Amino acid sequence: MLKGFGLVTILALAMACGGGDTSTEGASTPAPGGAPAAPPTDLITADQVKLGEIDPGMVAKGKELYDVKCQACHSTGTNRVVGPGWKNLLDQRKPEWIMNMIVHTDAMLETDPEAQAMLEECLVRMPNQNLSVDDARNVLEFIRSL
Ligand code: HEC
């Protein structure tokens, strides 16, 4: 009984989250109505994330983390499960934004307008998965490989 209810609830939430392709907010869209809240100072900045050619070793490590910690809520396609699918995510989000969403999940959900908009759509708050910056960088490499 309870199990069935949970499944229906999750499906309803997944649908409320909208289609993967309709979420077109660009990473550079300014917050409506003025300046966004000042981000916490320990957020990862653009110059801390260097992207070169895709590194297969990092992709493999990132996939291992994905299988254990992210797969329940994220697909590697464009469809949403609980959270958005990851295919072509780099077309929509800056690398450092993705890193911050993974490492500083709560700070992002509290201060970043785009993360907040997603939370409003998805109605489920992504839990912090306690990944290190290196772990997150490997997951980012895995996302790039999709
Ligand atoms: C319990 C479900 C859940 C788990 C587990 C989870 N996430 Fe999420 N994730 C979400 C939801 C829901 C969102 C949308 C924001 C919100 O509602 O909090 C999200 C958003 C994201 C985003 C932004 C996606 C976009 O379209 O901009 C990234 C990146 C992300 N998660 C990475 C991860 C990584 C990496 C892991 C594993 C280490 C992970 N998530 C584990 C639920 C989850």
pLDDT tens string, the chain, 146 residues long: the values are: 555 455 444 444 444 454 444 444 444 445 555 566 665 568 999 999 999 999 999 999 999 999 999 999 999 999 999 999 999 999 999 999 999 999 999 999 999 999 999 999 999 999 999 999 999 999 999 999 99
Nearest-CA residue for ligand 1 atom 16 is 119
Which mutation among 101, 111, 128 tests ligand 1's pocket best, with the greatest number of atoms within 8 A of CB?
Answer: 101
Sign of CA dihedral 43, 85, 134, 29: negative
Residue 9 C-alpha to ligand 1 middle, in angstroms?
18
Which mutation among 24, 64, 70 tests ligand 1's pocket best, with the greatest number of atoms within 8 A of CB?
Answer: 70
Q: 14: which residues sit within 8 A by CB, 6+ positions away?
A: 80, 81, 82
Indicate which atom in ligand 1 lies nearest the CA of residue 66. Answer: 37
